[in-house]
């Protein structure tokens, strides 16, 4: 992957440019990096203006989150299903969306449990907001960016309470799924080949336990925030499911992760 550039430099370029949070393994971004990596689609990485003025990103995309994929002068794509379909179109091989309708329905359903609103990523973020904001004073300037992000993602004390149970449910479901798949002789979460779900799980598992520092360099505070400390959540992620993340990274994805310090 090339060096990160600024959004204003990327606007008038041709080809594929992807806005990413450059300093943390944000799972939505890592999943999209994974889609492009396994398909050998090259792109210019663009630094998300985290903690800075986000006016330009908002003007271009009508939202402020990352990742965003810009391809030539097509409309920008700022949600994971659009980004996955773009990757499939730019390079159909290897396919990451199953051919069989039944498998496709299950795959998109599970991906949504990980990356959709109120899914695993969203819910872990609620818990991170709740931990950080509970220990910070309301007028502490250091917690202001976190407070702003919490507002953006509709954080409330009630939604944070429901989050843990939601994550447990999703992790139990995925743990059962990988156990069943292994029993029928498959190394993948859907069918008999790699799909977007395997890549998404590998990326979103960072919010339970990030990969070791040598493979995934992170600031200590960020690593602590990403690492789950809820025993019910740890118990719901089976060793087999966590090993599946390691297998997918080892076999298919770029290691170490490309992040800026």
Ligand X SMILES: N[C@@H](CCC(=O)N[C@@H](CS)C(=O)NCC(=O)O)C(=O)O
* List of residues contacting ligand X (CB under 6 A): 21, 26, 28, 64-66, 78-80, 115, 125, 149, 152
Burial label, 126 (beta-carbon count in 10 A; 0-12, 13-18, 19+): buried
For ligand X, the closer CB: 117 or 246: 117
Specify the 3-state DSSP secondary structure of 127. Answer: helix
* Shortest distance, position 24 Cβ to ligand X, whole Å: 8
- Both tokens of 129, joined, read 């907001």
For ligand X, the closer CB: 179 or 224: 224
* Shortest distance, position 159 Cβ to ligand X, whole Å: 15
For ligand X, the closer CB: 96 or 178: 96
* Shortest distance, position 124 Cβ to ligand X, whole Å: 10
Query: Among 222, 197, 13, 22, which residue's Cα sits nearest to residue 112?
Result: 197
* Shortest distance, position 81 Cβ to ligand X, whole Å: 7
Q: Between β-strands 68-71 and 44-47, what pairing exists: parallel, antiparallel or unpaired?
A: unpaired
For ligand X, the closer CB: 44 or 115: 115
Q: In what order do the strands lie in the sheet with 16-20?
A: 44-47, 16-20, 68-71
For ligand X, the closer CB: 149 or 197: 149
Asked whether 71 and 15 are in contact (CB, 8 A), the reply is yes
* Shortest distance, position 183 Cβ to ligand X, whole Å: 32
* Nearest residue to the partner ligand X, using Cβ: 65
């Amino acid at each position: 992957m090339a060096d990160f550039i600024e959004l204003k430099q990327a606007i008038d370029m041709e080809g594929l440019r992807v806005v990413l949070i450059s300093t943390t393994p944000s799972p939505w971004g890592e999943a999209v990096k994974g889609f492009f990596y396994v398909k050998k689609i090259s792109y210019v990485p663009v630094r998300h203006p985290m903690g800075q003025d986000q006016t330009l990103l908002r003007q271009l995309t009508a939202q402020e989150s990352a990742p965003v994929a810009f391809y030539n002068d097509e409309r920008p794509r700022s949600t994971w299903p659009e980004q996955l379909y773009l990757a499939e179109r730019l390079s159909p091989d290897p396919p990451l969306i199953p051919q069989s309708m039944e498998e496709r329905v299950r795959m998109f359903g599970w991906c949504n449990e990980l990356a959709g609103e109120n899914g695993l990523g969203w819910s872990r973020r609620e818990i991170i907001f709740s931990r950080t904001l509970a220990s910070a004073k309301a007028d502490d300037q250091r917690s202001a960016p976190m407070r702003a992000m919490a507002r953006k993602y509709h954080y409330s004390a009630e939604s944070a309470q429901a989050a843990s149970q939601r994550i447990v449910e999703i992790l139990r479901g995925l743990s059962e799924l990988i156990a069943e798949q292994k029993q029928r002789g498959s190394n993948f979460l859907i069918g008999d080949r790699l799909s977007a779900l395997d890549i998404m799980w590998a990326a979103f598992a960072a919010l339970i336990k990030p990969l070791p520092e040598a493979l995934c360099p992170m600031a200590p505070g960020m690593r602590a925030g990403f690492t789950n400390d809820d025993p019910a959540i740890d118990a719901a992620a089976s060793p087999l499911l966590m090993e599946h993340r390691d297998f997918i990274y080892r076999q298919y994805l770029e290691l170490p992760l490309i992040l800026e310090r």
